[in-house]
Structure 1
Amino acid sequence: MNGLDYRMRRILNPGTGRSLVIAIDHGYALGPIAGIVDVGKTIRELDATGKVDAWLLTGGVFRYAFDPTGNPGVILRISGGATIAGPDITREGVVSSVNEGLALAADAVAVSAFIGSQYEHETLLGLARTAEECHRWNMPLLGVIGLGKEVGEKKHDAQFIALGARVAAEHGADMVKTYYTEKDFEKVVSGCPVPVLIAGGPKCDTDIDTLEMIYGALQGGARGIVMGRNIWQSPHPAQLLDAAWHLIHADFTVKEAAQLLSDSINS
């Protein structure tokens, strides 16, 4: 085992090979949105379940709001520099470094690349340069596939999503966070040589929709989730988190997870 292997085991559960990662990095571009206005409170409530394998967060949140009771994995987002108030949220750059990740004892770092956007070239260069630095220090890199407005309905196209996942791996990512497609998602996974974890994307209409998305992704070969608002914007975030954990690590069906969720809410 080397340092990369050890850190990857802090993200992907060695027993199941899967991971439940809660993303709370949204504030870097969206500000204090519902569910993470008091981000420290959100962390405490979800951490108390004991069901979070790792957190995806920014350096600011790590320093000022992150105080878990256990010892979960940490993925530090080091790309940013664009907000919803600016001209184009896809105009990201690498705003921190692998050295900061090492200083904060992170288990991995994350960089976005916006495939099919105006800034595809710049963001892929940032991912590739970070990968080179990561591998010098045996630090895993999560490649976060973002989609610009130009992409439109391609976000539902498995072939396009497969392109982004493969490109991220080819540029050096050790794990890929990308979007789930209801049709042919297995082609996204089979075409990517590194673990694929799904993003939540826009808020689902119901918690059952969230469970169905997670289950479908797992059946297609995903190794878990890196999900934010579909968990912490739920009316019952802790209970939904527990149900999602049972899908990922206990091989529950959607029906079993939904029953667990209902029982937890009504108990």
Structure 2
Amino acid sequence: MHGKKRRLRRILNKDTGRSLVLAVDHGMALGPMTGIVNVAETIRQLDATGKVDCWLMTKGIYNHAFDPAGDPGVILRASGGATIAGPELTREGQTATAKEALHLGVDAVATSAFVGSPYEHETLISMAGLSTECRKWDLPLLGVIGLGKTNEDKKKDPKFIALGARVGAEHGADIIKTYYTETDFEKVVAGCPVPIMIAGGPKCETDLDTLKMIHGALQGGAKGIVMGRNVWQSPYPVALLTAVHGLIHENMTVNEAAQLLEEMRNR
């Protein structure tokens, strides 16, 4: 078994081929937002459930706030450099290297590309360059496909989402994180030669909406989630995480997952 395959097994469950990845990298651009003000406590609480396959985080959080109960996988965020206080959130650059990721002992790295944005070219070139670097070390690369504010309306367009997913794979990503589309999501998956996992995007109105979105994505061929605020901003994050795990790894229906969520909320 070569190194990349072994590391991918730390992310994608060997039995189900799916993964529940919790993202806590939001603070690099959004600061101490609700749910991750005390990010170390959020990680401690949710990791203790044993339901998280893998975490996505920056090197700062990994070094200063990550003390898991078990030994989950870790994807290191390797792009950033822009905040909501600045002029353009899509102007990301490389903030970590493959060699640094290996030194930290993580299992993969993640970088963003903003398709259709003013910084499409720069972020795609950065993704391709990091892919080349990762290949030297058999390190998997998660391609995070963003759109930018001017393309918000295109998040629901399966043709545009399919374009972004394919472009990310073409530039060297081993896994793609992108948005779920309620229509033709299976076509998004069919056009991408690497596994697709869905982002949460803006916070869903209810936990049931989150469950429906994840279930729809799984039915369309997604291999799981790379999601943050829709879990840790829930009023009942542990209960929701358990229900999401049921969808991803136990093939629960939405009704079964919703019932489990309700039972845990009432305890």
Cα RMSD, aligned residues only: 0.5
Q: What residue in structure 2 maps to residue 141 of structure 1?
A: 141
Q: What residue in structure 2 maps to residue 257 of structure 1?
A: 257
Q: What residue in structure 2 maps to residue 157 of structure 1?
A: 157
Q: What residue in structure 2 maps to residue 104 of structure 1?
A: 104
Q: What residue in structure 1 maps to residue 20 of structure 2?
A: 20
Identity among equivalent pairs (%) = 67
Instruction: Tell me which stretches of 4 or more aligned residues in structure 1 moved more than 2 Å.
Output: none
Q: Which runs of 5+ in 2 are unaligned?
A: none
The two structures have a TM-score, normalised by structure 2, of: 0.99
Aligned residue pairs, count: 267
**Hey, what's the Cα distance between the residues in 2 that align with 1:26 and 1:148?**
15
Alignment of structure 1 residues 227-246 onto 2, 5 Å: 227-246=227-246
1:187 shift after superposition:
0.6
Q: What residue in structure 2 maps to residue 118 of structure 1?
A: 118
Any idea what the Cα deviations from partners look like across 1:125-167, whole Å, max 9, x if unmatched?
A: 0000000000110000000001111213111000000000000
Q: What residue in structure 2 maps to residue 77 of structure 1?
A: 77
Q: What residue in structure 1 maps to residue 90 of structure 2?
A: 90
Q: Which runs of 5+ in 1 are unaligned?
A: none
Q: What residue in structure 1 maps to residue 219 of structure 2?
A: 219
Partner secondary structure for residue 143 of structure 2: strand
**Hey, what's the Cα distance between the residues in 1 that align with 2:30 and 2:97?**
22
Residue 4 of structure 2 corresponds to residue 11 of structure 1: no
Q: What residue in structure 2 maps to residue 54 of structure 1?
A: 54
Partner secondary structure for residue 37 of structure 1: coil
1:95 shift after superposition:
1.4
Partner secondary structure for residue 197 of structure 1: strand
**Hey, what's the Cα distance between the residues in 1 that align with 2:53 and 2:37?**
22
**Hey, what's the Cα distance between the residues in 2 that align with 1:257 and 1:152?**
29
Q: What residue in structure 1 maps to residue 188 of structure 2?
A: 188
Q: What residue in structure 1 maps to residue 198 of structure 2?
A: 198
Partner secondary structure for residue 10 of structure 2: helix
The two structures have a TM-score, normalised by structure 1, of: 0.99
**Hey, what's the Cα distance between the residues in 1 that align with 2:54 and 2:71?**
9
Residue type at the aligned position of 2:51 = K
**Hey, what's the Cα distance between the residues in 1 that align with 2:181 and 2:251?**
20
1:118 shift after superposition:
0.1
**Hey, what's the Cα distance between the residues in 2 that align with 1:15 and 1:178?**
23
Alignment of structure 1 residues 33-48 onto 2, 5 Å: 33-48=33-48
Residue type at the aligned position of 1:215 = H
